[in-house]
Amino acid sequence: MAKINGTNLLVYYDGLPIGHTTDCELTIDRDNPDASTEGSAGWTEHIGGAGSWSMSCNGLVDWTTTSGADELAAKIIARASLTLKFSTEVSGDTYFTGTGSISSYSISAPKEAPVSYSVSFTGNGALTQTTV
């Protein structure tokens, strides 16, 4: 059984990998509205409702990196819509893509430690699953 090294998975926006990431995450949610009736024999039933998705990543700050912490700050300030991708870019692997925007961005600068950033994206519309 093949395994994927987490180092190979990246979040991309507008075709560029986000610079100096240390980890990333994709979350897909689905509402499940209650569809129980008297005929449900005392069991809860539901239907598949609206879906939503988000991506996030953390990384190290380097102000000179293209598609890094500096550009992410500019994107949230500008309320920019982004094409997002969650992928290894390895032929045959699954990847996810959709349009979204930055919902949260922060920079942390602890004493005597690397400066890091955290960014979260909220999807706008459908998320597509495809193969590289």
pLDDT at 17 over 80: yes
Burial 61-79 (b: 16+ CB within 10 A, else e): beeebebbbbbbbebbeee
What is the pLDDT, as a whole number, of residue 110?
96
Is 80 exceeded by the pLDDT of residue 2? Answer: no
Average pLDDT estimate for 89-118: 96
* pLDDT value, residue 30: 95
- Is the model's pLDDT at 132 over the cut of 80? yes
Model confidence pLDDT, tens digit, residues 30-84: 999 999 999 999 999 999 999 999 999 999 999 998 889 999 999 999 999 999 9
Count of CA atoms in the C-beta half-sphere (13 A) of 24:
23
The DSSP 8-state label assigned to residue 65 in this structure reads S
| pLDDT above 90: percentage of residues in the chain | 89
User: Is 1's pLDDT higher than 60?
Assistant: no
Does the pLDDT value for residue 3 go beyond 90? no
**Residue range 4-32: average pLDDT?**
93
Q: Strands 51-60 and 116-123: what pairing?
A: antiparallel
> What local confidence, expressed as pLDDT, does residue 65 receive?
86
* 81: number of Cβ within 10 Å: 13
d(Cα 32, Cα 82) in Å, to the nearest integer? 28
The one-character DSSP state at 4 is -
Q: Are 119 and 109 in contact (CB under 8 A)?
A: no
